[in-house]
Structure 1
Amino acid sequence: MNSVEWSSLYRDHLAQLQARADEALARGRFDHLVVPSGRLHYQVFDDRDYPYAVNPQFKAWVPLTKVPDSWLVYTPGRRPRVVYHQPFDYWHAVPAAPGGWWVDHVEVAIIRKPEDALQYLPPDPARCAILGEPQSALGDYVPNNPAPVLAYLDWHRGFKTPYEVAMMREASRIGVRAHRAAERAFRAGASEFGIHLAYCQAAGQDAMELPYNNIVALDEHGAVLHYTERDRVAPRPARSFLIDAGAGFHGYACDITRTYAADGHADFQALVDAVDAAQRVMCDQVRAGTDYRRIHLDAHLALARILHEFDLITVSPEVAVETGVSSAFFPHGIGHGIGLQVHDVAGFAESDRGGTIPKPDGHPYLRLTRTLAPGMVVTIEPGIYFIDMLLEALKDRGLGPSVNWERVEAFRPYGGVRIEDDVVCTEAEPVNLTREAFAAQA
């Protein structure tokens, strides 16, 4: 996409954000929206800072992720102002002068010291909705995060503009390129750490620049849902590989998971293929008017059918779901919203005025309960795992006979299977950003 196309998409995106901010400010009875980009935090009793993470409310307005002590100021009827911190500093790299397809759509004021921002902020902090963390306070400008403003903005962040979908499509392209490199490293016998390095190299992003900590799991480690240890020595030979890793593009994230069987492990490959086929059907459910909770509950039944097909359970799929046996093999939610954050905000919001939509009984880890609508982007990530503590708990509940333990023991060395795509809900067919990117890089 060229700069003219990006500029056009950004212009329309900015107009949408301004309209949302106008309504949010009216509901909170404020005159101005003020958003700090965030500040560096230092480790206790040390002079080393933690990796900087930009305020999501800030990067929603401008494609800037590495400008601490900057500010976004919006007053209805006026052009948004970016107070851009570009310090005099010979110890660290200084942000480049603002430029590119976005600058013509906002007013930019460059400052050299954080306190210089005060001259560009509205005169009365009491009339400002200030969205940020406490550490971003500057003088009397202390983040107040008013509930009516946040509730409205967070709810509507669930509906991505065409600009945002384009950003996520680019993030997916980068992520898939890195996933391809990771699979090649696995096939070549690399360790978890080596695979991780290959991923970062292909993505062109360091570990701290990625939207979340890579999950790179060989063999049994695939049974640890958020495994991030990364052994330096590869098992000989490795049997399986699960990777859950994303990439970013101007502050927007992708979230992709794939599972692979080593050559000669046909039974596990068949299980991977079965989960992959079921996942494609689940992705097709990402349609306007669909309750996301229904996708999650349907996923349990679909995965229980796979468990039954592979002789891993002795009861019917329906009984496995009803008794909670399926939850021992699939203990997490089917997915979540994604965008500026990997787990995007307002997943449980009842409306743009707040409220909560409850999770289904017995499913505490579902991260999204809203009804899907055009513009929403969600992940779909079913999995089947062989987690000792959860399977042993079935015995404690008297459900041991529901499981074929001999078959479970045969699959335990592989850890588990998870397949995850990012899917856009539209007025018509779902758009699978992940599969689209894999097809383009086949």
Structure 2
Amino acid sequence: MQAALTRTGAEWALPAATSPRMNTVDIAALYPQHLATLKARADEALARCGRDHLLVPSGRRHYQAFDDRDYAFAVNPHFKHWLPLTTVTDSWVVYTPGQRPKLVFLQPLDYWHVVPESPSGWWVEHFDIHVIRSAEEALPLLPPAARSAIIGEANSALGDYTPDNPQAALDYLHYQRSYKTAYEVALMRQAQRRAVHAHRAAERAFRAGESEFGIHMAYCLAAQQDATEVPYQNIVALNRNGAVLHYTELGRSAPDPSLSFLIDAGASHCGYAADITRTYAADRTGEFQALVDAVDAAQQAMCASVRAGTDYRQLHVDAHLALMGILREFGVLKVSPEAALATGVSAAFFPHGLGHPIGLQVHDVAGFAASDRGGSIDRPAGHPFLRMTRVLEPGMVVTIEPGIYFIDMLLDEVRRNGHGDSIDWARVDFFRPYGGIRIEDDVLCTGDAPENLTRAAFAG
């Protein structure tokens, strides 16, 4: 049975092996086709850049200036695309068309740090594995540098092997990463389940009166991942802090009273990310809760619009209109949604993009790619922070994260720009103490109805 995602015309489906109750056996069944897909992509990328071999270093640690302390290690995403190793440094994936891929695996002699365990799992039988004890021992195991496309960070350089990232290869590989294999979707589902479990713990901590720091700790404990393992820094915001889009200060004392809670936090599984946002009201019967419910309903409609052939830019513009319709319904806006969009007023309440591609990276690559040969698709005028401009296709996974915020700086700009009469400022003052609302799910585009990976995890 072929385990890859099938993309033929309007048809797209996942094989039966990718059930919600994914286990190691299922992953093992899906991995060979994933590897075959990567080999085929590598063959084409090498042909386009005129090289014979693909070399992918895992990466090397970065150290702080004037110190011997290293920053948290982030593995090369191209490396973890091939195999589920996210913490090993100075290792290499080596691929030559027509040959088995090779892993050069650093297992150093070290008493300062924990030595990586020997490779094991569903993938090892598909690689020729060479264990080395120092980074330099990789040199005789690598093909000639002059005939290799080396994909990675500059600090991964080893002897003559300096990452050169041929543009033709990167354009192709990044573009193709948009189309997730069944193996990748299965791992992303597991990341979703871990993140959802932690989100539930965070909500309980909020309702128990915890501080931002306490909620963050409850989240990490439930996720069983610390700040270096989650895919991005947790955003845990109480009350007006929810109006800071990337709020990461983590207050140690809970406000009195705690009115609202916005959490944007994810989890990782085998190198794949989940990115989920929820907003809660302390008073489940009040008007802010009603506003949260209205944004949630609109967000679910937006998720349902993740369909093959849909321009993501149009989804973003439609989101502005839907959110401004909500603000008009709640008495915040005094003009039509269309007028608010045309005058830029809507951007004061919804200043960021609707979402982004997600996968090996939280903000995954190729969100603007015009084709697998390069070029980019411009953002709509007046929307500088949108992170995706492509037409949706089966196999893509994107986030949908509309938001409504009450941000003093942006609201002051509305007044300075002469559009203050568009807003009922008394209503703004009412909602201002709550900060803002954002709701985010990760959604898989198929050849039919989309699959909301996040809602499925919450329902499970």
Q: Which TM bucket (shorter chain)?
A: over 0.9
Contact 1:154 1:346 in 2 (8 A): yes
Q: Does 1:359 align with 2:379?
A: yes
Distance 2:154 2:357 in 1: 26
Q: Secondary structure at the match of 1:379?
A: strand
Corresponding residue for residue 341 of structure 2: 321
Corresponding residue for residue 35 of structure 1: 56
Distance 1:44 1:120 in 2: 32
Q: Secondary structure at the match of 1:363?
A: coil
Distance 2:192 2:310 in 1: 24
Corresponding residue for residue 53 of structure 1: 74
1:177-192 pair list within 5 angstroms:
177-192=197-212
Corresponding residue for residue 117 of structure 1: 138
Distance 1:180 1:159 in 2: 30
Corresponding residue for residue 308 of structure 1: 328
Q: Does 1:277 align with 2:287?
A: no
Tell me the CA shift for residue 2 of structure 1: 3.6
Contact 1:179 1:199 in 2 (8 A): yes
Corresponding residue for residue 8 of structure 2: none
1:157-196 pair list within 5 angstroms:
157-196=177-216
Q: Secondary structure at the match of 2:78?
A: helix
- 1:44-77 Cα shifts (integer Å, max 9, x gaps): 0001000000000100001000100000000000
- Tell me the amino acid that sits aligned with residue 255 of structure 1: D
Tell me the CA shift for residue 317 of structure 1: 1.2
Q: Which one of 93, 99, 114 corresponds to residue 72 of structure 1? A: 93
- 1:122-163 Cα shifts (integer Å, max 9, x gaps): 0x2110000011110000000000000000000000000000
Q: Which one of 260, 282, 293 corresponds to residue 280 of structure 2? A: 260
Q: Secondary structure at the match of 1:209?
A: coil
Q: Does 1:14 align with 2:43?
A: no
- Tell me the amino acid that sits aligned with residue 181 of structure 1: A
Distance 1:170 1:264 in 2: 30
- Tell me the amino acid that sits aligned with residue 27 of structure 2: W
Distance 2:317 2:26 in 1: 40
- Tell me the amino acid that sits aligned with residue 130 of structure 2: A
- Tell me the amino acid that sits aligned with residue 219 of structure 1: N
Q: Secondary structure at the match of 2:328?
A: helix
Tell me the CA shift for residue 209 of structure 1: 0.6
Contact 1:239 1:265 in 2 (8 A): no
Distance 1:228 1:362 in 2: 27
Corresponding residue for residue 4 of structure 2: none
Tell me the CA shift for residue 264 of structure 1: 5.7
Corresponding residue for residue 336 of structure 1: 356
Distance 2:187 2:451 in 1: 14
Q: Does 1:371 align with 2:405?
A: no
Distance 1:118 1:72 in 2: 13
Distance 1:206 1:75 in 2: 37
Distance 1:215 1:181 in 2: 15
Q: Secondary structure at the match of 2:108?
A: coil
Q: Secondary structure at the match of 2:82?
A: coil
- Tell me the amino acid that sits aligned with residue 435 of structure 2: G
1:197-236 pair list within 5 angstroms:
197-236=217-256
- Tell me the amino acid that sits aligned with residue 420 of structure 2: G
Q: Secondary structure at the match of 2:458?
A: helix
Q: Does 1:140 align with 2:140?
A: no
- Cα RMSD of the aligned pairs, angstroms, is 0.7
- 1:410-437 Cα shifts (integer Å, max 9, x gaps): 0000000000000000111100000000
Distance 1:273 1:74 in 2: 50
**TM-score, normalised relative to structure 2:** 0.95
- 1:372-402 Cα shifts (integer Å, max 9, x gaps): 0000000000000000000000010000000
Corresponding residue for residue 113 of structure 2: 92
Distance 2:249 2:426 in 1: 29
- 1:281-310 Cα shifts (integer Å, max 9, x gaps): 000111100010010000000001001000
Distance 1:2 1:284 in 2: 28
**TM-score, normalised relative to structure 1:** 0.99
Deviates more, 1:2-11 or 1:112-121: 2-11
- Tell me the amino acid that sits aligned with residue 83 of structure 2: V
Q: Secondary structure at the match of 2:115?
A: coil
Q: Does 1:241 align with 2:269?
A: no
Distance 2:414 2:298 in 1: 25
Distance 2:110 2:299 in 1: 50
Q: Secondary structure at the match of 2:149?
A: strand
Distance change (3 Å), C-alpha of 1:99 and 1:303: same
User: Which aligned runs of 4 or more in structure 1 are off by greater than 6 angstroms?
Assistant: none
Distance change (3 Å), C-alpha of 1:350 and 1:268: same
Tell me the CA shift for residue 7 of structure 1: 1.4
Q: Secondary structure at the match of 1:378?
A: strand
Tell me the CA shift for residue 265 of structure 1: 5.8
- Tell me the amino acid that sits aligned with residue 380 of structure 1: I
- 1:94-135 Cα shifts (integer Å, max 9, x gaps): 11110011101111111110001112110x211000001111
Q: Secondary structure at the match of 2:228?
A: helix
Tell me the CA shift for residue 332 of structure 1: 0.2
Q: Secondary structure at the match of 2:412?
A: helix
Tell me the CA shift for residue 263 of structure 1: 2.3
In the comparison of the two structures, how many residue pairs are matched? 439
Deviates more, 1:319-328 or 1:150-159: 319-328
Corresponding residue for residue 62 of structure 1: 83
Distance 1:265 1:409 in 2: 19
- Tell me the amino acid that sits aligned with residue 333 of structure 1: G
Tell me the CA shift for residue 4 of structure 1: 2.9
- Tell me the amino acid that sits aligned with residue 106 of structure 2: H
Structure 1 gap segments, 5+ residues each: none
Distance 1:263 1:296 in 2: 30
Corresponding residue for residue 408 of structure 2: 388
Tell me the CA shift for residue 3 of structure 1: 3.1
Contact 1:301 1:321 in 2 (8 A): yes
Contact 1:380 1:421 in 2 (8 A): yes
Structure 2 gap segments, 5+ residues each: 1-21
Percent identical among aligned pairs is 68
Deviates more, 1:417-426 or 1:104-113: 104-113
Distance 1:338 1:2 in 2: 22
- Tell me the amino acid that sits aligned with residue 41 of structure 1: H
